[in-house]
Structure 1
């Protein structure tokens, strides 16, 4: 026999669960604002070249003095993810990344964090950052943690990965490696990293809090519904 709470109890249960949902949604909005703030800062400094001290910087062929253009292959080579079918995954602490983002979890990680994930098939050119160990599957590339930076993460988001020379959708690694990336001089690079790092620390904390809130809400619901916890 299935226990169905009376209407008044159902309303109280809904109110309790709504409080969790409101906290989760508020955290999501805060994450979006932090990410947008970091993107805008990157755009201001490295796209529009209005970085600190730009008024006094000499520009040669569109590149500030002391900066240089390099290829992605030279800066951060792309590595192939490894296949991990859904039936082979065992739910665990490590996120599994596909070209659409996190697609599940697993008990083992393939790469240490932080890492940057780039969509290879499906959502071609999508870019994600994982601060924790994770498993990128075979629809994506990943970048070794030793090569990762916040500057690179946002540079990749502004990079064109569309190859019009091929008929089959997918990101060719050689083509991706040929893409150009503007590398700032060390002082500006370090200033950007130091400015954005606290934003991403807050993002990581909010993401972890949302995971905990979601787990707590999902555990609470059946206990509220069967009367194990009085409302």
Structure 2
């Protein structure tokens, strides 16, 4: 196995550009435009933003082809990578590696860089924001077995990622179906037999206005002293807002507490199936803990009186994001909604029999989402165990 510079196996290495944000005509066109914060060890099939033909002409953005390997160069994302599965444009914080298919397999290169992302990140230079540059990335050396071996390694690892992607797609469909039913019943008021129900003051008769605290005990999390490492590193979930993004159920976290950490703040322990809502910083993110957990102080959680309200109240909380941001406004740049204010937030409460019907309809969706999420956790663990062994040659692969 030889080591080669990335630049030597590319037909082209380039970055992108950003049209000026002051001209709205440059955006919301039909050209996919990738931001560096979307480069997060994944395949890119779509982008959060698009630019117009005019925006393309007025910036340094250029098309990169399908199967380009993209490396993030700026800030906290520096060293992360992704594969463009569609032709797209990127901003200037992305280094785009167009791999010469006669010399290397793009998928192998992606997995190698994924495994070496920490090493790439350490090459970043600068002041408060550490940045990589294209020259540093071009000089970065990777281990390169024969092309057939590269393709075999990439095939093994991509099989796991395809299964994860398929499960994730099914999760998104189930989430959308459940949320659509919630909106149909509780936003548009088209619940079963709604035609027979009289409207009183804009609400179906028998529906009430209550406060969040009426549905369970509200608990605000707490961070044990970081200086005491004996409190960390065990098996108990310690949930922070980044753990909650795009996750209905939380079954693993980037940081955990030990038994000592749990005992340090035992009254803060959340039983499984509590509803966690971020209320400081990035507010209005909602998740459910799949097993007992602690959270940090940025999260208020509802320990439910009645678990049959779980599905309904989960979507109630998701719909309250604008309200949380409004009532959490402090005049500073960061949202901060206290426990006291969170408890007092008002919600429209359907009659108990309608909430029970919703629970029976939606519970199977939540169970399947949980099962698929657990499968993804297992697949991810298996892939991540294989990755360094395949790349180091410790696990022999035959072409």
Whether TM exceeds 0.5 here: the answer is yes
Tell me if the contact between 1:5 and 1:227 (Cα under 8 Å) persists in the aligned partners. no
1:153 and 1:167 map into 2 onto residues whose CA distance is 28
Aligned length in residues: 230
Distance 1:171 1:62 in 2: 28
Pick aligned residue for 1:187 from 353, 369, 373? 353
Q: Deviations over 1:106-162 (max 9, x none)?
A: 255632201111112111222112232222112111111445511111111112112
1:117 to 276, 294, 303: 276
Greater Cα radius of gyration, structure 1 or 2: 2
Contact 1:125 1:171 in 2 (8 A): no
Written as runs of structure 1 = structure 2, the 5 A alignment for 1:76-91 is: 76-84=216-224, 85=226, 89-90=232-233
Structure 1: which 5+ residue stretches go unaligned? none
1:153 counterpart (304, 314, 318): 314
CA RMSD of aligned residues (A): 2.4
Compared with structure 1, are the counterparts of its residues 200 and 29 closer, same or farther at alpha carbon in structure 2 (3 Å cutoff)?
same
In 1, the alpha carbon distance for the partners of 2:243 and 2:201 equals 37
Cα distance in 1 for residues equivalent to 2:318 and 2:206: 23
Moved more, 82-91 or 195-204: 82-91
Deviations for 1:154-180, whole angstroms, at most 9, x for unmatched residues?
A: 111112112276324201222222221
Q: Contact 1:99–1:120 at 8 Å: present in 2 too?
A: no
C-alpha contact 1:115 1:142 (8 A) present in aligned 2: yes
2:240: which partner in 1?
Answer: 98
Judged with a 3 Å threshold, the aligned counterparts in structure 2 of structure 1 residues 164 and 95 are, in CA distance, closer, same or farther, namely closer
Counterpart CA distance in 2 for 1:207 and 1:165 is 34
Change (3 A) 1:19 1:164: closer
1:33 aligns with 2:167: no
Which ranges of 4 or more aligned residues in structure 1 deviate by more than 6 Å? Answer: none
TM-score normalized by structure 1? 0.89
User: How does the TM-score come out when normalised to structure 2?
Assistant: 0.53
**Which residue in 1 is equivalent to 2:151?**
11
Q: Is the 8 A contact 1:99 1:121 kept in 2?
A: no
Structure-1 residue corresponding to 2:183: 43
Paired with 1:99 and 1:230, the residues of 2 have a C-alpha distance of 40
- Picking from 67, 81, 92, the partner of 2:207 is 67
Which secondary structure state, in structure 1, belongs to the residue aligned with residue 185 of structure 2? helix
Instruction: Identify unmatched segments of 5+ residues in structure 2.
Output: 3-142, 245-252, 263-268
The farther-off stretch of 141-150 and 197-206 is 141-150
- Residue 228 (1) aligns with residue 395 (2): yes
Question: Matched residue of 1:177: which SS?
Answer: helix
Whole-Å Cα distance in 1 between the matches of residues 242 and 211 of structure 2? 25
* Contact 1:100–1:119 under 8 Å retained in 2: no
Deviation at 1:75, TM superposition (A): 2.6
With 45-54 and 163-172 compared, the bigger mean Cα shift is at 163-172
- Tell me, yes or no, if the aligned pair for 2:210 and 2:348 is still in contact at 8 Å: yes
> Partners in 1 of 2:152 and 2:209 — Cα distance?
60
Paired position in structure 1 for 2:10 = none
Higher relative strand content = 2
